[in-house]
């Protein structure tokens, strides 16, 4: 099962809104086939694992391991449960249940009704965490939200004056761009775009650019800002109008109501399952105050500002602490969600 997880994570950034899935086939305690879901719309992990087996006759005496319940419905590909039954694989070991209402136990039920022995909840916690984006989208009906910010060693997040200031070192910056390729969206507030003229692309790492999201109530940002270039799609939530201009989609919402809920509802409806929040302290604090976050990645750098804007107040379960040259990275999970 751990091998399934190691395979599955290779699809990160390429399979959303599908889950991350890896599969291993074992015969007489030897792996005879393995595969993972590599790209959205392409073959699922179980299909790739079965196809990799040279001698298909061995399948009828093998065990198939997979970190997520096999699908039981027709989507962009046929049901994996049907393929397992077709090849007469007698035993299937599963990590976690699929929360998608189209599956939700139906894959396990179909296998058992066909006489397949099914073992469940093997490395379930690890399997659930791997697919936390997919599970959040189907259980909380909103994207998985990652807060990301950097602060000085003396506890400030930004200068008092509207001026760009780089906190992290070059290696940390590359890591942040890698993160951008792994998520579907990246969100900032109007002030961040106005001051930093940020592009919000993954230019320091190979991979897909996320959808760029900005909240600009009055549409006051100049149209020559980098966030509006054609390198990636941009969504601008505002109260003025809805229209499309090139790669930018302006979306009108009601600012007299809960803004973040409207933004997240739109993203969920468009199958954006994960978003990094890279805004300033004001934007970040809004998400924290409404408990709309799942994970925080906080850099502490050796800079000393002595004065400046304070970072948001955040608490949760620290699951990782890493040093990246001169920077210290802390990963926090929201235990309340």
- Give the catalytic positions in this structure: 46
Contact between residue 249 and residue 108 where contact means Cβ atoms under 8 Å apart: no
Q: How many C-beta atoms lie closer than 10 Å to residue 253's C-beta? A: 19
Q: Which pair of structure tokens corresponds to residue 253?
A: 């919402």
Q: How far apart are CA 97 and CA 30, in angstroms?
A: 26
Beta strands in 153-200 (DSSP E): 185-189
Enumerate residues 6+ apart whose C-beta is below 8 A from 27: 58, 61, 62, 63
Phi, psi of 158 (to 5 degrees): -155, 160
How far CA 76 is from CA of 19, 36, 106, 171, in Å, comes to 14, 16, 18, 39
**DSSP code per residue over 228-259:** GSTTS-EEEEESS--EEETTEEEEE--TTS-H
Q: What share of the chain is helix, strand, coil (3-state, %, to 5)?
A: 30, 25, 45
**DSSP letters for 271-289:** T--EEEE---HHHHHHHHH
Report residue 225 CA to chain centroid gap: 26
| Cβ count near 109 (within 10 Å) | 15
CA angle 252, 257, 258 (to 5 degrees): 95
Report the distance separating Cα 47 and Cα 62, nearest Å.
15
- Whether the bond between 17 and the residue before it is cis, its omega within 30 degrees of 0, is yes
């Amino acid at each position: 099962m751990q091998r399934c997880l190691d395979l599955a994570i290779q699809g990160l950034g390429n399979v959303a809104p599908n889950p991350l899935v890896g599969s291993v086939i074992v015969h007489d305690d030897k792996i005879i086939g393995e595969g993972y879901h590599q790209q959205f719309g392409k073959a699922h992990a179980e299909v790739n694992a079965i196809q990799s087996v040279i001698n298909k006759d061995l399948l009828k005496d093998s065990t198939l391991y997979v970190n997520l319940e096999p699908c039981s419905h027709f989507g962009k590909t046929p049901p994996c449960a049907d393929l397992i039954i077709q090849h007469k694989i007698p035993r299937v070991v599963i990590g976690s249940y699929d929360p998608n209402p189209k599956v939700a136990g139906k894959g396990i039920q179909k296998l058992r009704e066909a006489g397949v022995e099914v073992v469940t909840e093997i490395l379930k916690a690890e399997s659930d965490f791997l697919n936390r984006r997919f599970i959040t989208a189907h259980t909380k009906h909103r994207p998985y939200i990652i807060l990301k910010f950097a602060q000085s060693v003396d506890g400030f997040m930004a200068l008092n004056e509207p001026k760009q200031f780089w906190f992290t070192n070059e290696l940390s910056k590359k890591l942040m761009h890698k993160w951008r390729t792994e998520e579907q969206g990246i969100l900032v507030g109007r002030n961040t775009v106005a001051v930093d003229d940020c592009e919000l692309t993954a230019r320091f790492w190979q991979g897909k650019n996320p959808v760029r999201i900005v909240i600009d109530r009055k549409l006051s940002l100049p149209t020559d800002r980098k966030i509006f270039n054609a390198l990636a799609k941009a969504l601008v939530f505002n109260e003025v109008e809805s229209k499309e201009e090139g790669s930018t989609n302006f979306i009108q919402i009601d600012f007299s109501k809960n803004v973040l809920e409207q933004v997240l509802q739109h993203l969920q409806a468009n199958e954006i399952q994960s978003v990094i929040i890279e805004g300033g302290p004001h934007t970040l604090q809004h998400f924290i105050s409404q408990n709309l976050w799942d994970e925080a990645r906080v850099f502490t750098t050796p800079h000393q500002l002595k004065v400046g804007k304070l970072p948001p107040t955040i608490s949760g379960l620290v699951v990782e602490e890493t040093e990246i040259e001169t920077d210290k990275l802390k990963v926090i999970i929201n235990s309340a969600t």
